Structures are given as C-alpha cells and as structure tokens.
Amino acid sequence: MKTLKALAAGALAVLLGGSVAGVLLRPETAAADRRGPDAIVIGHRGASALRPEHTLLSYETAIALGADFIEPDLVSTKDGVLVARHENEISGTTDVAARPEFAPRRATKTIDGVPVTGWFTEDFTLAELRTLRAKERLPDLRSGNTAYDGLALVPTFEEVIRLAQRHGVGVYPETKHPTYFDSIGLSLEEPLLATLAANGWRNARDRVYIQSFETANLRDLRKKTRLPLIQLVSATGAPYDRVAAGDPLTYDQLLTPAGLRDVAGYADGLGVDTRRIVPTGPDGRLLPPTTLIRDAHKARLAVHTWTIRDENSQLPLDHRTGNPASPAYARATGDVTGWLNRLLDLGVDGVFADNPGTARAVLAARSAR
C-alpha cells in the first residue's frame, strides 16, 4: 500500500496540476501498487466531488487519488455507441439547453415509468453529442467544479476503458435504464461486452465489475460472461424490470436469506445504499447496523456500498460537523473518515466514493495501524 505521504503527494498533483486538455500530472503516482486485502475504492462517476462527473477529467482525477476502479454509467447514442452519462437526459450535465440548433429535440419521455422532459442521448448521434460540452450537475453544492464547465467532452465507454488500461485500474460500468433502452432497440449489454472484448477485457475478472439496478439483464449477462456481476439495491422500491412485468418483488425481498441465495445464482455481489447497512431513524440519526453484510457473505456475495460523500449535507447526521447555521455548513467537509471507518469495521468489501482520495487515505491509515 502507498504511504500517506505518497498519497498526499498524488492528491496535491491532482488538485494543483490539471491542464485544460484534461491531462493530469502523472496520475500513476498514486495509482500504482495499491491493491491488497483491503476494501476496493470505486471512483463514483470518477472523482465527482472534484471534477464534473463522467468526464475524462473526473476519471483521471479519481485514478490519481488512488481509485481501484472508475465507474462509468452507460447510456446509448442514436447510433448505438455507449457513452458515460449518469442519465440519458443530459440537460443537467451538458450545455445542450444553450445550443439553439438542438432546441427542436427537447422532448418528454417516460423513463422507468416517470415522465422526463429534456434532451436525450438516444436522439443524438455520437458525432452530434461530441459537439456538446460537459458541466457540473450540482453547482450549488460543488461550486468549485464549475471552473471546469465547458472543458470536457462526453466520453465514450471505449475511451474510459483505454484510460483505465493506461493506468492499471479497473472499470465498474452500470447499465442505465436497460428495460427502456431495450424497448427502443438500443440494448446496452451486448455493446458493453463487445467493447470490453475488443479492448482485451473479455475475461478480466480483476478489472471489471458490471452493475445494474435491474435483474433480468444481469441474469441474461450471466449466460454470456463470467465477469463479476453486481446487483444494485436501493434503500426502497423495486427493480424496474420486475415492476414493468407486474412482478411484486421488491428490494427488501431481494435481501432476505432466500432472496440472497437467488441473487447468488446470477451475481457475484451487491451494491447497496449505505442505509441498507446502517439505517437512519426518523430524527436522521443512525440506528444499529443490519445483518446484511453477514447475510450476504454467508451467501458468498461481496458487498459494495454507495455513496461516500465528503459534504455535511451528504453525510448521516451523526457524522456532520460545524455550525448548522453557517451558510457554508452544507458544503463543508464533515466527519467522512469516521463514517468510512464505521462501514469498514462492519466488513464492507468496497466503497463508491465521490472523493476517492478520502477513501484511499482512510484505508492507508487502517493498514498502518
């Protein structure tokens, strides 16, 4: 494992040394030689606390800060190319709304049963999408990230893979709205596997996890690949493919002993909301932990949890610090190290972090004890 001094040097290089072209100073400084028995660190949408999410700027920053994996959420263009966006509706993450030539493409669609109005990746060819520029999705929370607005393109999945390969990290793609994309003839799973295979990662079990909130696509993927599959689980609700099929199965039921045994038949692990591990009460404070990690491990399922965020407003009440009356309170960094240590003490196998450097530093400190 890297020493804390080396990690700090790598983090400093990221924070001070990025160029407008999106090429960081020596991202391998903090990226090399960090795998071990510890939990894995997944750069959530890259390093979305520090750069606009799902851009090469964000992924490069995550690598420099010590992420083991970078996470691209995948949607499709009109011509069937997989690109990294949190949603297929892109008005919040690109400058499309300010582009008059694309004004006629504003539309309202039903995505997973919910009406959504905006601009959608599936209505753009890749060439058209590449004329847009990325921007910060949460400017009120992460105002510093707006300095990078307009500097980055929407990356393709292939570009993300090649970046990961250059720096010795893995990718952790999520297929977004697979039932919806299937319904419009733009299935995500086949091009995902084809892109991995074309880049030499057909069997890269130590370099790839594939995740989804739905179940049918993961079952289908299990027939086509031995790459590790992760069943995502929200704090509430149900997999949309089950809802669309009229199946009453909920995420709660997936996490029963019988449900976990079923999941273990097609997946290798769970990606769960932290509230599934340590729930919160009506007052917002943490309750005693659940038995989920123990139950999942008994079913031979890994447990990765999301999302670790540094800001007070994104942390459980027990781990917020400072004066709640302060105008900067919501954006200020809270006791994220205490929260991470609590989850690691409970036995999580991986953490999705908006700031991978924080997670890497906590793991390094634990290793040095």
Q: Which two tokens stand for residue 328?
A: 């900067």
pLDDT in the model for residue 37: 58
Instruction: Let me know the angle formed at the C-alpha of 213 by 266 and 74, rounded to the nearest 5 degrees.
Output: 105
pLDDT in the model for residue 19: 35
- Distance (Å, rounded) from C-alpha 20 to C-alpha 149? 11
Average pLDDT value for residue range 88-92: 98
Average pLDDT value for residue range 104-111: 98
Q: Is the pLDDT of residue 206 over 60?
A: yes
pLDDT in the model for residue 318: 97
Average pLDDT value for residue range 155-184: 98
Q: Is the pLDDT of residue 159 over 50?
A: yes
Largest CA distance in the chain: 59
Say which DSSP state 94 is in. B
Cβ atoms of 313 and 358 closer than 8 Å: no
Q: Which pLDDT band, with edges at 50, 70 and 90, does 38 fall under?
A: confident
- pLDDT tens column, 125-146: 999 999 999 999 999 999 999 9
Closest CA to 159 of 62, 261, 57, 256: 57
Average pLDDT value for residue range 94-116: 98
Domains and CATH numbers, the chain: 4-87+143-367 (3.20.20.190)
Average pLDDT value for residue range 336-340: 98
Average pLDDT value for residue range 69-77: 98
Cis peptide before 337 (omega within 30 of 0): no
At residue 162, the 3 state secondary structure works out as helix
pLDDT above 70 covers a percentage of the chain that reads 90
Average pLDDT value for residue range 179-204: 97
